[in-house]
Amino acid sequence: MSPDSKIALGDLQRQYGELREELHEAIDRVFDSGWFILGKEVEAFEKEFAAYSGSQFGVGVGNGTDALHLALRALGVGPGDEVALPVNTACPTAIAVTSCGATPVFVDVDPITSTLDPVDLESRLTPETRAIIPVHLYGFPADMDRILEIANHRAIPVLEDCAQAHGSRYGDRQVGTMGALAAYSFYPSKNLGAYGDAGMVTTLDPELAHRVQMLRNYGQSRRYHHDVIGFNSRLDEIQAAMLRVKLKHLERWIENRRHLAACYTRGLAGSGVEVPEMPDHGRHTYHLFVIRTDDREGLEAHLAEENIQTLVHYPIPLHEQKAFEDLGYSRGDFPVAEELAPRILSLPLFPELREWEVDRIVNSVRRFHGES
């Protein structure tokens, strides 16, 4: 590979090349079975992923947004209810709330971790709050002890958004095991990604698991017996079979990500950008490596000129999105998220990234800040 060739933010082709034989064996197994929806592969993956994530039950669904939506429905969230969530997150977290007919209530974020700020959370709860969704952003867990203390005091269920946090831990506990339910995305770019859309709800509660199972499949308790109004959101056999292959490699990939993040952290020390600060209450799995800089646009352009791809997660806080303007928020309502938005930049990070590529990115960042 040329030393000046493009470095992508993520490169799924490298991973596919490594797993090609295993993946094709899994696909052939599904086609040979002749069964493609809610079969043995989905059942096996549900059990395997639930066990990996420290949960008791897993329910495979169509995507991560559906996982949040159906989990909220299983909790009974509906019209007239409010759901609290961080303002600095991907839009689907809020869309899952509006899909229930409920109202998203945005909460500012912690200035260090960019995750839900428990202090601001407490100030925004009302008698109509029916759920809290902490997002374990970029692979780092939210401050769950403080969030759960607030939630439990008011008997408000917590739904953990683990879309970016497969394998992350909060102290000695795995994310996804502390709330009533957890929602995972297996979008292709995730730490555990499918080759299309896929998601899962996990829980320790058998009744909640049963509700999600019904909701994902037209509300059926058994074939042609519809107990509730449900939806069509089912993880398919082919995606489940490929995810079973990938799950065996996930811990190794996470350790690769952590090693590469450490290389970035060492290399960027004193460079003029801020690297992620890691409080000691969690295990970061580095779905993303997000730096902060006072000249984001300039650094973006410089890296692009040097054939290095970057992205911003996320450039517009949810309260400033046109889709949510009817909620009545204004500029200045979420000062931390507003300060972060123009400063954050995601650098390339994926398990197959090479150390010399990290060095090239680090050197490019340093050149931008005047180092030869």
Alpha helices in the chain (DSSP H): 12-33, 40-52, 64-74, 91-98, 118-124, 144-153, 206-216, 237-247, 250-267, 296-305, 335-340, 355-368
All domains in the chain, ordered by first residue: 13-247 (3.40.640.10), 249-368 (3.90.1150.10)
DSSP state letters, 304-368:
HHTTB--B-S-SS-GGGSGGGGGG---TTSSHHHHHHTTTEEEEP--TT--HHHHHHHHHHHHHH
Name the token pair of 160. Answer: 């953990």
Residue type, 40: K
Residue type, 24: H
d(CA 65, CA 310): 24
Q: What was the pLDDT predicted at 183?
A: 99
Name the token pair of 308. Answer: 């290095």
d(CA 22, CA 36): 19
pLDDT digit of tens for each residue in the chain (372 aa)? 666 799 999 999 999 999 999 999 999 999 999 999 999 999 999 999 999 999 999 999 999 999 999 999 999 999 999 999 999 999 999 999 999 999 999 999 999 999 999 999 999 999 999 999 999 999 999 999 999 999 999 999 999 999 999 999 999 999 999 999 999 999 999 999 999 999 999 999 999 999 999 999 999 999 999 999 999 999 999 999 999 999 999 999 999 999 999 999 999 999 999 999 877 778 999 999 999 999 999 999 999 999 999 999 999 999 999 999 999 999 999 999 999 999 999 999 999 999 999 999 999 999 999 875
d(CA 1, CA 211): 51
User: Which residues lie below 8 Å from residue 156, measured CB to CB, with a gap of 6+?
Assistant: 125, 129, 130, 131, 132, 150
pTM of the model: 0.97
Name the token pair of 337. Answer: 């998220």
Name the token pair of 228. Answer: 């509730």
Cβ(83)–Cβ(107) below 8 Å: no
Q: What was the pLDDT predicted at 2?
A: 64
Q: What was the pLDDT predicted at 370?
A: 85
* Distance from the Cα of residue 305 to its chain's centroid: 29
Cβ(178)–Cβ(134) below 8 Å: no
Indicate the pairing of strand 169-170 with strand 173-174: antiparallel
d(CA 98, CA 262): 39
